[in-house]
């Protein structure tokens, strides 16, 4: 817990948490868009749909939502590895799950079908990736 000490926040060694907050705000939102829980688009600047493909690489549609989720996860991992802390095997499993889920969703049609079984499944995958990102940020 952050407590005020002498006018400064005591983050107990969590100097990078402020950097992580930026990514942690975007990951749940864009994961929900990526996994189809909700839709979101901007109507300004000629319109922008976050799930519309920017590139198509070997049949995989790369969208803004995918790039934000993957970039946010990479950002959190990079900022938490600055201090050189080592993760245990089960923590690496959470990291791999968080990074692999969006990639598999875009690249592997059968994984996408698994996620898209129903609305509850889509919501659970969104929550799982968001929780994994939060855990990665908090644990180190």
> Per residue in 120-129, pLDDT tens?
999 999 999 9
pLDDT at 50 over 80: yes
Give the residue-averaged pLDDT of 54-71.
90
Quick check: is 10 in a domain? no
- Say what the pTM is: 0.79
Residue 3: inside a domain, yes or no?
A: no
Nearest to 26 by CA among 75, 78, 80, 77: 75
pLDDT at position 114, please?
94
Residue 5 falls within a domain, yes or no? Answer: no
SS3 call for 97: helix
How many CA atoms lie within 13 Å of 124's alpha carbon, on the beta-carbon side?
Answer: 8
Is residue 24 included in any domain, yes or no? Answer: yes
Q: Does residue 9 lie in a domain region?
A: no
Residue 1 within any structural domain of the chain: no
Determine, yes or no, domain membership for 8: no
**Residue 37 DSSP code:** S
**Structural domain boundaries, residue 107:** 15-139
Torsional class of 83: left (φ above 0), alpha (ψ -120 to 50), beta (otherwise): alpha
Segment 14-36, tens digit of pLDDT: 555 677 888 889 999 999 999 99
Higher pLDDT among residues 5 and 140, named by residue: 140
How many separate domains does the chain show? Answer: 1
Q: Is residue 108 part of a domain?
A: yes
User: Cα separation of 47 and 49, whole Å?
Assistant: 7
């Amino acid at each position: 817990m952050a407590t005020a000490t002498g006018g400064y926040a005591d983050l107990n060694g969590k100097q990078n948490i402020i950097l992580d907050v930026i990514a942690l705000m975007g990951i749940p939102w864009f994961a929900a868009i990526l996994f189809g829980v909700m839709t979101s688009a901007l109507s300004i600047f000629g319109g922008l749909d976050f799930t519309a493909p920017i590139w198509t690489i070997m049949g995989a549609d790369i969208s803004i939502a995918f790039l934000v989720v993957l970039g946010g996860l990479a950002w959190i991992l990079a900022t938490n590895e600055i201090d050189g802390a080592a993760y245990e095997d089960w923590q690496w499993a959470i990291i791999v799950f968080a990074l692999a889920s969006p990639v598999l969703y875009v690249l592997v049609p059968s994984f996408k079908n698994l996620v898209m079984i129903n609305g509850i499944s889509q919501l659970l995958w969104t929550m799982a990736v968001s929780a994994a990102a939060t855990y990665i940020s908090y644990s180190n």
